[in-house]
Structure 1
Amino acid sequence: MENQYVILVSPRDNEVQLVKEKGYKTILLRKEISFDEIFDVDIPVEIDLNDEETVLEKCLELADQLEIISVFTMNEYRIPLASKISEVLQLKCHLPYEASLRCRNKKMARQKLNEAGVGEVQYCLVNSQSDLEAELKGIDFPLIVKPSNDSGSKNVYLCKDKAEVSTALHNIVQSKNNIVGQSIDTDILIEEFLDGPEFSVESVTVNAQTTVIGITKKLVTPYPLSIEVGHDFPANLNADEENEIRSLVEQSLSVLGVDFAVTHTEVKLTEKGPRIVEVNARPGGDEIPHLVKAVTGIDLKSLAFLVTLGKGIASLDLSSSTVPSASIRFLLANQEGKVYFDEQFQSASIREQKWYVNNGESVQRTESNFNRLGYFIVYGDEQNPSCSKADSVEKELSITIKNPLEI
């Protein structure tokens, strides 16, 4: 283990620390590496991650000199690159490259699932206004219009008629690249609106065997914004609903070819049964791993690394201190202006609290998951579920936003 290396592809979380704690040496690939990071890893490599050919050449060069046993990232945008590197280095336990592309690109996932007859959803693909008339025939409104390969609910629109679809297309086409400089797929996805409560399924697949760890209830603002405002774990579902959702996710991961991955699959429970919204080949964001660990003792992030070594839940040191339920609530700005809140606010229910902004700071209206104001996490007990405690805290926590005319 002393001389075994793990390649970390532009980590966004605590990947470096996870790998070091397991006793492995670290190779960091990133376009720009900070001064602190240089001393935190064994081999820092500054490289343009959008230049796949150069990255692969560099990794092959490193593999000639070092024993590389894993390629790891929880960075949504870099999962396909990590899979490609693993494939080129002929590592045994990795997410197959084709599966990584399907998880990254909603168009590819929808095509594959529909072809297999798994949770079929009506959809079409367009890349210009001229395609609209023909492609929309036979699909009922309302419709969801979204980019095939962006994230964070960015540029996702609910459209009630053709004019709104046309406006959504125009807005999406303006976004040529995502936040890491990758090209946005020119095929724009238009699909039937999946009406119903939303959930996410946290699971792990090793050697083609999927274990569902739990189901999270997602709280989302009404369209047109579709911002995630909270999560409750575990979701309060009846046995039939839970079994239907679990079955759909297990089938979907198999059809998409997912293996050696922790996944976060978003699902809507519609009148026709559960339907897949998207599959992410990484642990959920928004502190969902915190909620899962508090309730189950399972550390999804550690597990995400361990599966790249062919290991599963049995290899984890499970936390013995667990609670019946856990919830997170995000704080939003309902308008542009200066935000004011009580920095000293405390509640016995809050286990963790974080502000993304400073008191008195100018903020934009929250219109996506990328510009929320902060969050708090609460745990439930046998008498009071975490969702009830979260609702109580929200009522107590006062946030005021004054626009320039009010100040």
Structure 2
Amino acid sequence: MAQAPLAVLLSPRLEEVRAARVVGARTLVLAPDRAAPGIREAVAAAHDALTVDWLDHQGLLMAIGHLAGHPARVSVFGFAEASALVAARVNEALRFRGNPHAAVAYLTDKVALRGKVNQLTGTPVRFEQCDRVTHLVAAAERVGFPCVAKPRTGSGGQEVHLLRDVADAALLAAELVSEPALIIEEFLEGPEYSVLAHSRDGEHTVLAVARKHLSDGPGFTEEGHDLPADLGPGDAAAIGDLVTATLGAAGHRAGLSLTEVVRTAQGPRLIESHAHPGPGRLGDLLALATGTDPVALAVATALRLPVPAPHPSSGRRYAGIRTLRLPPGRLDAVHGIDEAYALPGVADIGITVRVGSHVPEATSRAAGHGFITAVASCPQEVEAVLGKALGLLRPVVGGADPGASGRPAHPEKEEEHTAA
């Protein structure tokens, strides 16, 4: 009897292991610490697991190099920024199926991608590369205020700075402790969207466009997403064309991608793109809204397994997620989780801080301390359910105690683990 194709998963979430198994793949989890919260659940659900620091390329090749002679098809998968790059590199080295390493690397380089996409669109985005602190103010002035400064190879909204004037630029330059590797680009005004796509042999298919919710405060903190976004046919087509052009410019060939877009008065314009589905659980929303699991789709396509049919959605077509943020201090309890779960439409609640531990500072505009997802028959109902659920959660935050390890905030819902 022929062996099933093998999906090698780099520090996956539990849901990603389950998706690979659903399409008929054997699963091998690689993680630096198999006992880490979130990872241990993924390990328990997988067929096999190995303790591997997969950021060590030579060590990773030594650990799984023997799979190059595996009798069945093999592919390595990473569904976050670092792991997607590592997966592409090792797939190429061992001649497994997957996205070209150069394409994934291209998408991580915002300067190279911005320059290429600017050549393909009628409305280029002004930008400057900045590698010297002493050049930052002048570069921002050339781009024009307001503008945005962010790491050239950053992800997840980390270290994104809105510069409103020369004073903001000078303050950022003074705060930098080393020479930067930044891209400074014009601020794009308009609603933001996250576009989840799947590629096969260089053919790109938009799976979903989600509307991003942003706070009104400094930094435009992400509050969540609604899927699908309420777009007219023309806007949806224009966003799809921009995404396709972006992925083509990078040489993206296979797998999932997440592209961030702003719909400006001049049409959609690119923020950035990544060769993975991102940290915002858009794949979960897609599965809730349409019954299509994007991870299952990506694994099945790469390993040439039958693509699963969408699960019935019971007539519900809209899904949303909202981010939970906690004040600083020690998390003593989170009340109201059971009441929130009891609300019709609430699909999942995750608290990423353990009771008894210190609430960490959010390191990016997208980072939070938990989430709630919900599904309903219309966008207004999703909004109402999520708002009510957030109102029922009552975190108790006391004095700071960074050394405590604590226990999960909810016995049935272990803390989340996001792969590097």
Q: If the length of structure 2 is used for normalisation, what is the TM-score?
A: 0.80
- Alignment-mate amino acid for residue 124 of structure 1: E
Q: Secondary structure at the match of 1:99?
A: helix
CA distance in 1, matches of 2:233, 2:307: 29
1:381 paired with 2:385, answer: no
Instruction: Find the counterpart in structure 1 of residue 6 from structure 2.
Output: 5
Higher relative contact order (CA 8 A, sep 6+): 2
Instruction: Spell out, residue by residue over 1:139-188, the C-alpha distance to the aligned partner (whole angstroms, 9 max, x if none).
Output: 111111111222221211101123422433455555x9xxxxxxxxx521
> Are the structure 2 counterparts of residues 171 and 304 from structure 1 closer, same or farther at C-alpha, using a change threshold of 3 Å?
farther
The alpha carbon displacement at 1:57 in A equals 5.1
Instruction: Find the counterpart in structure 2 of residue 363 from structure 1.
Output: 359
- Alignment-mate amino acid for residue 349 of structure 2: Q
1:78 paired with 2:83, answer: yes
CA distance in 2, matches of 1:393, 1:264: 27
- Is contact 2:23-2:296 (8 Å) kept? no
> Are the structure 2 counterparts of residues 130 and 49 from structure 1 closer, same or farther at C-alpha, using a change threshold of 3 Å?
same
Instruction: Spell out, residue by residue over 1:357-406, the C-alpha distance to the aligned partner (whole angstroms, 9 max, x if none).
Output: 467865356563575232222222259542244345445656676789xx
Instruction: Find the counterpart in structure 2 of residue 124 from structure 1.
Output: 128
1:333 paired with 2:329, answer: no
Q: Secondary structure at the match of 1:153?
A: coil
- Is contact 1:202-1:212 (8 Å) kept? yes
Cα RMSD of the aligned pairs, angstroms, is 3.2
> Are the structure 2 counterparts of residues 133 and 302 from structure 1 closer, same or farther at C-alpha, using a change threshold of 3 Å?
same
The alpha carbon displacement at 1:268 in A equals 0.8
Give 1:15-164 correspondences, 5 Å limit.
15-34=16-35, 44-56=49-61, 58-64=63-69, 67-91=72-96, 93-117=97-121, 120-132=124-136, 134-164=138-168
Instruction: Find the counterpart in structure 2 of residue 372 from structure 1.
Output: 368
Pick the aligned partner of 1:318 from 310, 319, 322: 310
Percent identity, please.
Answer: 25
Instruction: Spell out, residue by residue over 1:323-351, the C-alpha distance to the aligned partner (whole angstroms, 9 max, x if none).
Output: 12111112223666767753353333433
Instruction: Find the counterpart in structure 2 of residue 179 from structure 1.
Output: none
Count of residue correspondences: 391
Q: Secondary structure at the match of 1:315?
A: coil
- Alignment-mate amino acid for residue 303 of structure 2: L
Instruction: Spell out, residue by residue over 1:236-283, the C-alpha distance to the aligned partner (whole angstroms, 9 max, x if none).
Output: 112222121111111111111111111121111112211111112122
Q: Which moved more, 1:327-336 or 1:266-275?
A: 327-336
- Alignment-mate amino acid for residue 125 of structure 1: Q
Unpaired stretches in structure 2, ≥5 consecutive residues: 401-420
CA distance in 2, matches of 1:383, 1:157: 31
> Are the structure 2 counterparts of residues 310 and 116 from structure 1 closer, same or farther at C-alpha, using a change threshold of 3 Å?
farther
> Are the structure 2 counterparts of residues 382 and 286 from structure 1 closer, same or farther at C-alpha, using a change threshold of 3 Å?
closer
- Alignment-mate amino acid for residue 19 of structure 1: A
- Is contact 2:78-2:86 (8 Å) kept? no
Q: Which moved more, 1:130-139 or 1:234-243?
A: 130-139
Pick the aligned partner of 1:231 from 225, 229, 241: 225
Pick the aligned partner of 1:188 from 182, 186, 205: 182
CA distance in 2, matches of 1:123, 1:268: 16
> Are the structure 2 counterparts of residues 105 and 14 from structure 1 closer, same or farther at C-alpha, using a change threshold of 3 Å?
farther
Q: Which moved more, 1:59-68 or 1:135-144?
A: 59-68
Instruction: Spell out, residue by residue over 1:58-112, the C-alpha distance to the aligned partner (whole angstroms, 9 max, x if none).
Output: 5434424664521112132121111111112223x41111110122232332232
Instruction: Spell out, residue by residue over 1:285-319, the C-alpha distance to the aligned partner (whole angstroms, 9 max, x if none).
Output: 323222211221111121121232256xx712210
- Is contact 1:341-1:400 (8 Å) kept? yes
Unpaired stretches in structure 1, ≥5 consecutive residues: 177-185
Pick the aligned partner of 1:292 from 283, 286, 290: 286
- Alignment-mate amino acid for residue 292 of structure 1: L
1:165 paired with 2:159, answer: no
The alpha carbon displacement at 1:24 in A equals 3.5
